[in-house]
Every structure is written in structure tokens, then in C-alpha cells.
A and B are shown apart, each in its own frame.
Chain A
Amino acid sequence: MSKTYFTSEHEWIKVDGDIGTIGVTDHAQSALGDVVFVELPAVGKAVSKGGEAAVVESVKAASDVYSPVSGSVTEANQAIIDQPALVNESPEDGAWFFKVKLSNTAELDGLMDRAAYDAFVASL
């Protein structure tokens, strides 16, 4: 069974075994505005927890997407490269950014669950 965690940088990670699927939250896409460009890490690339892993750009500005966990990239979502507006339409579902094979599942312990993240966003 999968479980989803959230970061204070507004990424989500859905973990299934040792594979994590990572994207940005609905709050993040709303704050960004219309997404016009996405840059994703290459398959095989090593990412580290809290490190810059992808870039998402709106008309206004470019923002970094940080990896919530360390590991190596197993897949990148070509659909959002072809159609960046998907990030606005289904940020927490079809518009995932990349998948990572986790190197240390203990890193998940410091992340928020849905309730904690919703409370965090409400406090902003």
C-alpha cells in the first residue's frame, strides 16, 4: 500500500515499496500560476534529499523543485514536458514529475502527512 508525504517546499512524494513518485502540490501550482516549462532530471541521475532536482517555470518566474528524498531517478514524466499546463490541471495526480528509487527510507520520517501539510498551508 502506498503512502503520500509532503515537504514544506510544497512537494509531495507517494511511496510504494522503495519507489517514490514526486510532484508539486496543488498549493504550489496555484502559487506559481500558469506553468509554461518544466525541466526534469535524467533517468539514472542521483538526487539528494533537499537538493534541486527539477525546475518549473510560470510566465512570471522559474522555481526549483527539491527532491524530498535521496536516491536515483528511475523515470521522468514526459507528459508534463510536452504539456506543462498539466501541472496546473492535475498537480497531485497525472502531473507527477519524476520517480526515485529511495536509498534511505528513514528520510521519510521527517516529512509531513496530508493533515500536517494542510495545517502548514493554512498557517501560511
Chain B
Amino acid sequence: MSQEEILRTPLNALHRELGGKMVPFAGYDMPVQYPAGVLAEHVHTRTKAGLFDVSHMGQVRLSGQGVEAALEKLVPGDIQVLAPGKVRYTMFTNEQGGILDDLMVSQTGKDLFMVVNAACKEQDIAHLRAGLGAGIKVDVLTDRALLALQGPEAAKVMARLCPAAAEMGFMTWAPQTVGGFDCFVTRSGYTGEDGYEISVHEKDSVALAKKLLAEPEVAPIGLGARDSLRLEAGLCLYGSDIDTTTSPIEAGLNWTISKRRRTEGGFAGAATVQKHLAEGAPRLRVGIKPVDKAPARAHTEIQDAQGRKIGEITSGGFGPTLGGPLAMGYVEAAFAAPGTEVQLLVRGTPRPAHVVAMPFVAHRYAISGRTAP
């Protein structure tokens, strides 16, 4: 993809109609906010339901005999254990144990359905084609849009358009008819709230988005609030909090790697992951809470009490629900315990902060499927 060419999702005209402030993001023309603004959109998602266009993300179908075992060569996640209808969060690793991209993969019962980051998708597809082997088919679903409906009232809204979706458990996948349109639905998201990601054919996407927006609980939400929501939820942004230089263990993503995969290895970079698991990672991703009100942005230096550099902020800003600044970043392992006092070098001035446990705002996932009261 050339730098000059700006891509549009099928919802582009709708974003403009809704007054979206459009910015280039990962090669796409995307709404960073709507007239309500980032703060209001953030709060709306935490209290009602927000609709996000995430059609810029890559949707890929993997099929063929032994596709699960083949994918396990590229990711540390346990794919073979996935029962039909289950979803996993995992990542492509490189030979050094760094992260090439993070992704969601669903076992549909006859193939695997994958969602990858927009900025990485071309590279991911090439990586899949090169790494999965001859018998595995990689289909890029370029004719599908992806909508995320997130928030405590998402289930109530979905119950009207798709009663079966309300019964879905967290991290499950199902083909569903939503508002009359054939969709693939997962109960998952990137906000820390209960919610859904809905893959729909591009020809139906605007009509479905309008149907969802017509529900009284639903408002359109831009990328600005998407970022502040995921930061409060302690979720990684690829390219900022995880990249080719961070191992899944340094990133604190140990929970994504099952006992079998830790023991057996068999994925790119397994030696590094196993070493970090056995000996401890040299540095760790942690939550950082500034003591005063000044936000600390990405690339802010983290120091110990004596002013020695011990790490760097990778994402930072203001948390509307938290009501103050928050950040995440990497520190030397000795400083990773919650409560550790550190300093953040903001515009040349050291400012006090603490290492804290994440998430900053508690997750509210629907562990077993239910309709919101």
C-alpha cells in the first residue's frame, strides 16, 4: 500500500454524515471523534453502548486439513484446544520472541476466522501464506465490514436485533442474523466492557450500522475514545505497547499461553518465551499512575527515585472514567511490583508516579452469556 493512497471503509460516508472528524489512521480515513467529543463518547460507552467502525482491521479465514496445528507454528496460543464457537486472543511471534501483531481467532467448527490489526494486515497475510504450509488456504475477506458494539447496554440492544446474541458467552463466536443481516458475531471487544464485534458483508454494513444507531442506547464512537477506553482497560495497542522487540512475557500476556504450549513450544520465538517464563523477563509492562494531574505521554522516560532511567511509557493520557492521568510502559523487572514509586520525566521535570496493577477500570465482561437486566 502506498503512503499516498488513503483507504475508506464502507461506512466512510456515514461517518461524515454523523459529523465525524476524519483523520488518517493505519492508511484509512477514520473518525477520531464525532461532535459529542472524546470525553462524552468515552463516558457513553462506559454507561450505555457505543458503536465503533473497525472495518479497517483485517478479516481472514484459514481453512484446510490441520489448520489449527499449522497456525500454532506462528502463534503461542492454544488453537488445537479451541472448541467450535470459541475465540482466543493471541499474537504472531517472530524468531526472537517479539510480537509481529496481536489478533483474535475464532474456531468456527469448519475453519478459523481471524481479525488482525489494520496497520499489520498486509504483512500478516504474507506471513500466514508463507508460514502455514501448502495445504492451508488463506482467504482475505475484503468484502466485509466490522462493527463493534460495546458497553453495559450492548447486550440489551443486541437482544432486540438478535435475541440469540444475548445468550452468547464472553469470547465466543457464532453466525447470527442481526437486524435481518447475516453476520459473524463474537462477544468480545477492546474497551473492557461487555460487547460484540459484528462482521457483516459490506453491502449490508451501512444499513446495519444505522439500525444499531437508531436504538436509543447507541451512539457512534471514534478512535479517540477507543484509545482511552482500551488504555483504562489495560489492553495493549500494537505498535505502542507491544512490537517486534517485546516478548509476550515482557508484555504480561502470559495468560494467553497454555501449559501445553509453554511446555511443548513449537512456535516462532518459543526459546525466548520459555526463557522469560523460567528466569523471569528482564523488563515488564506495568500500569503507571501519575501522582499529580499532568498526563505522561508515550516515550516519557521512567526513572527510579535517584533519577536513573528504568524504562519508558508506551501509552499514556487521561482516563475519563478514572478522572485523571494514566499510563502503561515497560520497567526493569525489579521495579514492576504494584506500589513501587517511580518518576516520570515530563517536559524535563521529574514527576512522582506509582506502578499500579491493571486494569485501571475493572473489566465488566459477560462471562456467561446473559441479557443485561
Contacts and interface: CB of A to CB of B under 8 A. Distances in A.
A60 B293 contact: no
Given A37-B318, A61-B297, A55 B38 contact: no
Given A34-B39, A37-B295, A60-B32, A55 B347 contact: yes
Interface in B49-72: none
A88 to B, nearest CB: 8
A39 interface: yes
Contact of B38 (A34, A37, A39, A57): A34
Interface centre among A37, A58, A60 (most CB of B within 10 A): A60
Interface string B308-321: 00000000011010
Given A37-B294, A57-B295, A60-B224, 17 more contacts: A33-B37, A33-B38, A33-B224, A34-B37, A34-B38, A34-B39, A36-B295, A55-B347, A57-B318, A59-B39, A59-B42, A59-B225, A59-B320, A60-B32, A60-B317, A61-B297, A62-B295
Nearest to A36: B318
B297 A59 contact: no
Contacts of A60: 32, 38, 224, 227, 317
Interface of B: 32-33, 37-40, 42, 224-225, 227-228, 293-295, 297, 317-318, 320, 325, 347
A56 to B, nearest CB: 11
Interface of A: 33-34, 36-37, 39, 55, 57-62
Contacts of A62: 295, 297
B110 to A, nearest CB: 42
B310 to A, nearest CB: 23
What 7 A-B pairs have minimum CB-CB distances, sorted nearest first? A34-B39, A36-B318, A59-B38, A59-B318, A34-B37, A60-B224, A59-B228
Nearest to B39: A34
A101 to B, nearest CB: 24
Contacts of A58: 38, 318
Contacts of B42: 59
A55 B39 CA distance: 19
Contacts of B297: 61-62
A59 B347 contact: no
B294 A59 contact: no
Contact of A37 (B32, B37, B39, B325): B325
B317 to A, nearest CB: 6
6 contacts: A37-B325, A57-B295, A59-B42, A59-B225, A60-B32, A60-B38
A24 to B, nearest CB: 17
A10 B202 CA distance: 41
B224 A59 contact: yes
Contacts of B38: 33-34, 58-60
Contacts of A57: 294-295, 318
Contacts of B347: 39, 55
A86 to B, nearest CB: 14
A55 B297 CA distance: 13
Contacts of B224: 33, 59-60
A1 B317 CA distance: 41
A60 B37 CA distance: 11
Contacts of A37: 293-295, 318, 325
A94 B192 CA distance: 37
A36 B320 CA distance: 9
Contacts of B40: 34
Contacts of A39: 294, 347
A62 B320 CA distance: 16
Nearest to A61: B297
A33 B33 contact: yes
A108 B209 CA distance: 51
Nearest to A31: B21
Contacts of B317: 59-60
A5 B225 CA distance: 35
A34 B32 CA distance: 13
Nearest to A88: B37
A37 B228 CA distance: 15
Nearest to A82: B293
A37 B326 CA distance: 13
Contacts of A61: 297
Contacts of A55: 347
A58 B225 CA distance: 12
Contacts of A34: 37-40
Nearest to B23: A60
Contacts of A33: 33, 37-38, 224
Contacts of B33: 33
